[in-house]
Amino acid sequence: MQQKSFLFFLKNKKIAVESRKKLLNKKILTLKIKKMDIPQNILTAVNEWLTPTFDTETQNAIKEMMTSSPKNLEESFYKNLEFGTGGMRGVMGVGTNRINKYTLGKNTQGLSNYMLQVFPGKQLKVAIAFDCRHNSDTLAKVVADVFSANGIHVYLFSDMRPTPELSFALKYLGCQAGIVLTASHNPPEYNGYKVYWEDGGQLVPPQDAAIINVIEALRYDEIKFESNPDLIEYIDEVIDAAFVKSSVENASFNTPAAAKDNLSIVFTSLHGTSIKAVPQTLAKAGYTNVNIVPEQAVPNGDFPTVKSPNPEEPEALTMALALADQVHADIVIGTDPDCDRLGVAVRNTEGKMMLLNGNQTMVMMTAFLLEQWKKQGKINGKQFIGSTIVSTPMMMELATGYGVECKIGLTGFKWIAKFIKDFPELQFIGGGEESFGFMVGDAVRDKDAVAATLLICEVAAQAKANGSSVYKELLNLYVDYGFYKEHLVSLTKKGIEGLQEINQMMVDMRENPVKEINGQRVILLEDYKTSTAKNLLTGEIETMAVPKSDVLIYYTEDGAKIAARPSGTEPKIKFYVSVNAPLDNVANFSQVEATLDQNIKNILHDLNII
């Protein structure tokens, strides 16, 4: 009996000693952090992540940063990741400002709590997809585990899929919400979390704020990570087939088989998910002359053959353009990793390949859709096209020309999707934005490079069959509706200091607006943060009935438009410039373009952007 008591005493003494050691180590770590002069809010967050709520691997990574990379520690914890125009994106790693199982787990737990609140007594269902990025598959499974732990049925794609297929699947399966793990075209170290609601579109106010409030009120120890395997159902071929069928039905317009055969296409998936759907869709639509860039057809989260997997960047299509010259292709199409944006290159009047910008492809596809609807007698004034405040004003001219509405929303396709929901009495024809995204009809309520790829091929095939080309048809549109030319400047400002610099640039432009640009008076300043439009000539201020956003737009008396906007998903501030002039004849294109190019250059100089 005495021996048992003695052993019990030794055991408890050992536990007590180990507990004191852990407490001492924690105090030492805390002292080390304090010596770095790190703000208290960061100290509090770091200490929380050193508790047993977080796994050993996470705690060890934090301790390593304390000793080897204090700056990285501060960057990882100085704020919580926020939802931007494309959901939540960030660098993968430990910390509140990083993408990891805990930040995404907290999002998912909050979303689960919200769904259970707004859909009481209903068997809830969610769909989850993921892209080709590092950890996307494992993070998707974590998200599925949390949903299932909360009694929510999960449809989880068995492999990577394009983002637009998630929007389609959500509606097809009758889900209340959907998640895509993706960071679009961001660098390899990024990942992200996009939330869709039951209409198939991304979250919009006020619902997004309500969900964020639920998430922020949660503690990390409230996350339910324990999976219920019975509630996780894997999906693949059945949804794939339905998605491809829908894409073909929505983006095909009676192009003759001979015209399809005569169109030579080069396609690159840029190591992304589109390889799972675009070739299949083109084949089902009857396009047989498709040349895929083989080196970029294999999904790879490192994107090894490009500096950036962004089809907005000409460099990303270098290999595709080289293949196009080898096979004498008519058109080159490249999609970003999650297949919601597409870059298009076509041959100009000299036979050389040139990359169209997002505004040009949007205008071409929209004009084609409008013409097809007109031929079919489907336009009666109860239709609309959609675009965004930083995209080309030429979309308004197209709408007027065809007798339809053009609804302009904030940056991001969630606003175009919201128009569809808010105006059920109107038919949505199509729409896009300058950042190389386009949406055809209502089957998918997000930008969709699968249907858009097929649509631009329809445009090209029919133009070629009629002795024209995509480029020639674009010039004809400039003659009919005015020559609009746009230019984007994107400045990267990373880290805490970068964010401060971006904020200060916006403050300066608000508080000290320029009065003259390129020799033209600024006549109007729209401030979407305050929802006001100020006439700088009369001082009159009007209220704009739009959601608030950190965007400023200057308008000059000659019709130029200059917008400034911090990116919602990247450490960047973007400046969008649009200028225009009449074009009376295609023969005068080069001369008018030179004038517009000079105007753009002058504007950038006057605003000290270059």
Share of the chain above pLDDT 90, in %: 85
pLDDT, tens digit, 9 for 90 and up, residues 281-313: 999 999 999 999 999 999 999 999 999 999 999
Give the global pTM.
0.92
CB 485 within 8 A of CB 561: no
What are the structural domains, with CATH classification, of the chain? 2-77 (no CATH), 83-235 (3.40.120.10), 237-481 (3.40.120.10), 483-606 (3.30.310)
Catalytic pick from 112, 184, 246, 549?
184
- Over 80: is that where the pLDDT of 140 sits? yes
Give me the pLDDT at residue 83, please.
73
Helix-helix angle 278-285:237-251, to 10 degrees: 50
Burial of 68: CB neighbours in 10 Å, binned 0-12, 13-18, 19+: exposed
Give me the pLDDT at residue 128, please.
98
Which strands, in side-by-side order, build the sheet including 265-268? 290-292, 265-268, 331-335, 342-347, 353-355
- Over 90: is that where the pLDDT of 568 sits? no
- Over 60: is that where the pLDDT of 46 sits? yes
Residue with tokens 């409230």: 222
Q: Annotate 243-269 with b (16+ C-beta within 10 A) or e (fewer).
A: bbebbbebbbbebeeebbeebbbbbbb
Mean pLDDT of 141-156: 98
CB 89 within 8 A of CB 190: yes
Mean pLDDT of 213-222: 95
- Over 90: is that where the pLDDT of 105 sits? yes
Residue with more model confidence, 23 or 338: 338
Poorest-confidence range of 198-212, 240-254, 392-406? 198-212
Residue with tokens 């057809």: 297
Poorest-confidence range of 60-64, 130-134, 358-362, 569-573? 569-573
Mean pLDDT of 173-188: 95
Give me the pLDDT at residue 86, please.
64
Band of residue 62 on the pLDDT scale cut at 50, 70, 90: very high
Poorest-confidence range of 7-11, 275-279, 545-549, 565-569? 7-11
pLDDT, tens digit, 9 for 90 and up, residues 261-286: 999 999 999 999 999 999 999 999 99
**3-state secondary structure (DSSP) of residue 98:** coil
CB 459 within 8 A of CB 363: no
- Over 80: is that where the pLDDT of 504 sits? yes
Residue with more model confidence, 412 or 406: 406
Residue with tokens 């089809």: 311
Mean pLDDT of 320-326: 98
The type of residue at 392 is: T
pLDDT, tens digit, 9 for 90 and up, residues 449-500: 999 999 999 999 999 999 999 999 999 999 999 999 999 999 988 888 888 8
Give the residue from 570, 501, 511 showing the smallest Cα distance to 84: 570
- Over 50: is that where the pLDDT of 55 sits? yes
- Report the C-alpha gap between 266 and 295 in whole angstroms: 13
Q: Indicate if 184 belongs to the active site.
A: yes
- Report the C-alpha gap between 284 and 245 in whole angstroms: 8
Band of residue 195 on the pLDDT scale cut at 50, 70, 90: very high
323 phi and psi, to 5 degrees? -65, -35
Torsion sign, CA atoms 332, 336, 340, 343: negative
SS3 string, 224-290, reads CCCCCHHHEEEECHHHHHHHHHHHHHHHCCCCCHHHHHCCCEEEECCCCHHHHCHHHHHHHHCCCCE
Which strands, in side-by-side order, build the sheet including 427-433? 405-409, 383-388, 427-433, 437-440
Band of residue 608 on the pLDDT scale cut at 50, 70, 90: confident
Q: Are strands 290-292 and 265-268 parallel, antiparallel or unpaired?
A: parallel
Give me the pLDDT at residue 85, please.
59
Name the β-bridge partners of 194. Answer: 180
- Over 60: is that where the pLDDT of 121 sits? yes
Question: Peptide bond before 309: cis, by omega within 30 degrees of 0?
Answer: no
CB 197 within 8 A of CB 211: no
Poorest-confidence range of 109-118, 154-163, 360-369, 561-570? 561-570
Band of residue 98 on the pLDDT scale cut at 50, 70, 90: very high
Residue with tokens 């790829």: 453
- Over 90: is that where the pLDDT of 202 sits? yes
Mean pLDDT of 541-568: 94
Q: What is the mean pLDDT of the chain?
A: 93
Burial of 307: CB neighbours in 10 Å, binned 0-12, 13-18, 19+: exposed
